């Protein structure tokens, strides 16, 4: 009886060891599969050479063209102009100041963004350009910040040589922008106290939020260098601008800045993440 029990116990132990080895093998297979899947995902995300962007057309002349999932997008030069109308402020600011403001809002733009599967997000800021009539003391300048989103509805790759491709794309954009418009009218000469009190120097800042909708067209004229042209329309997000003085005082108004079209021409650098 005791001998029979020992045999059964030995068989059960052998069976348990076999099951344990099977489970460990299955776990090892699962870990191996997970590692392979993760490696595949990393290769696809960072080093992919397959055609993956929706709506893309390839012109190759029979040669394959490399593609990418993601890229870093840098706009290192951009000239931007936004139409603006300050006519409602004429009764307080006068004709000359309003005429200077109505010439529009120009800035030099710099932007940093990220591209992924046709989607693009970019942060932009505008460097002020001082403008005004040299015959007067009126000067205006604008500083802008913006967050822009877009999606490429058309993405064309043209193969010029086995290792040389050019990109052309069309991308609708939407953006949120902040504009700080500064107006100064100061005398740079010695004046009588009475004249200064009657005609004080002017230094105020208009703060305006706008939404933007437009379209961007870009062409790669050299390796990773893009020439971009965009145009669209702005609309007010705050009905009345926030106005502050050089001393920091808050100025209340019921007048509005009427904004309109905007255009931008720039040079950009597109760096696929597989290059990094």
Tell me what pLDDT residue 206 has: 95
Tell me what pLDDT residue 117 has: 84
Q: For residue 128, give both structure tokens.
A: 């002020």
With beta carbons less than 8 A apart as the criterion, state whether 177 and 145 touch: yes
CATH of residue 145: 2.40.160.20
Tell me what pLDDT residue 256 has: 94
**Average pLDDT per 10 consecutive residues for the chain, totaling 276 residues:** 47 51 48 49 43 43 51 88 92 86 87 90 87 70 93 80 73 95 74 53 90 94 89 95 88 92 92 77
Are residues 206 and 149 part of one domain? Answer: yes
Listed in sequence order, the residues at least 6 apart from 214 whose beta carbon sits closer than 8 Å to its beta carbon are 172, 173, 230, 231, 232, 233, 262
Distances (CA, A) of 69 to 58, 73, 119, 159, 164: 16, 13, 10, 19, 18
Are residues 81 and 3 part of one domain? Answer: no
Are residues 266 and 175 part of one domain? Answer: yes
Q: For residue 112, give both structure tokens.
A: 């940093």
With beta carbons less than 8 A apart as the criterion, state whether 61 and 159 touch: yes
Q: Which range marks the domain in which residue 83 is found?
A: 56-275
Are residues 219 and 126 part of one domain? Answer: yes
Are residues 164 and 85 part of one domain? Answer: yes
Are residues 156 and 242 part of one domain? Answer: yes
CA angle at residue 175 from 172 to 178, to 5 degrees? 155
Are residues 157 and 23 part of one domain? Answer: no
Are residues 136 and 226 part of one domain? Answer: yes
Q: What is the CA radius of gyration of the chain?
A: 31
The number of distinct structural domains making up the chain is 2
Tell me what pLDDT residue 91 has: 87
| Strand residue runs (E) in 118-201 | 119-128, 138-151, 154-161, 164-185
Are residues 177 and 92 part of one domain? Answer: yes
Are residues 138 and 20 part of one domain? Answer: no
Are residues 66 and 40 part of one domain? Answer: no
Query: How many Cα atoms occupy the beta-carbon half-sphere of 154 within 13 Å?
Result: 9
Listed in sequence order, the residues at least 6 apart from 110 whose beta carbon sits closer than 8 Å to its beta carbon are 75, 76, 77, 78, 124, 125, 126, 127
CA distance 145 to 271: 23
């Amino acid at each position: 009886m005791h001998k029979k029990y020992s045999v059964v116990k030995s068989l059960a132990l052998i069976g348990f060891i076999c099951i344990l080895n099977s489970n460990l093998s299955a776990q090892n297979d699962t870990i191996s599969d997970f590692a392979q899947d993760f490696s595949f995902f990393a290769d696809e995300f960072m080093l992919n050479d397959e055609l993956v962007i929706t709506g893309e057309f390839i012109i190759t002349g029979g040669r394959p063209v490399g593609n990418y999932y993601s890229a870093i997008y840098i706009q290192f030069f951009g000239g931007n102009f936004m139409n603006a109308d300050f006519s409602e402020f004429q009764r307080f600011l006068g004709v000359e100041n309003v005429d200077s403001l109505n010439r529009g809002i120009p800035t030099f733009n710099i932007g940093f963004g990220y591209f992924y599967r046709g989607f693009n997000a970019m942060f932009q800021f505008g460097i002020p350009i001082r403008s005004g009539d040299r015959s007067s003391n009126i000067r205006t300048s604008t500083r802008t910040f913006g967050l822009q989103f877009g999606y490429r509805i058309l993405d064309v790759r043209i193969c010029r040589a086995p290792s040389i491709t050019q990109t052309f794309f069309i991308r609708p954009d939407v953006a949120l922008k902040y504009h700080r418009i500064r107006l100064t009218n100061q005398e740079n000469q010695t004046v009588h106290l009475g004249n200064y009190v009657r005609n004080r120097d002017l230094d105020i800042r208009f703060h305006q939020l706008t939404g933007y909708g437009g379209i961007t067209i870009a062409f790669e004229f050299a390796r990773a260098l893009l020439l971009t042209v965009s145009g669209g329309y702005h609309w007010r997000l705050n009905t009345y601008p926030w106005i502050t003085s050089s001393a920091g005082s808050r100025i209340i108004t019921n007048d509005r800045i009427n904004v309109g079209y905007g255009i931008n021409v720039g040079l950009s650098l597109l760096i696929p993440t597989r290059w990094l």
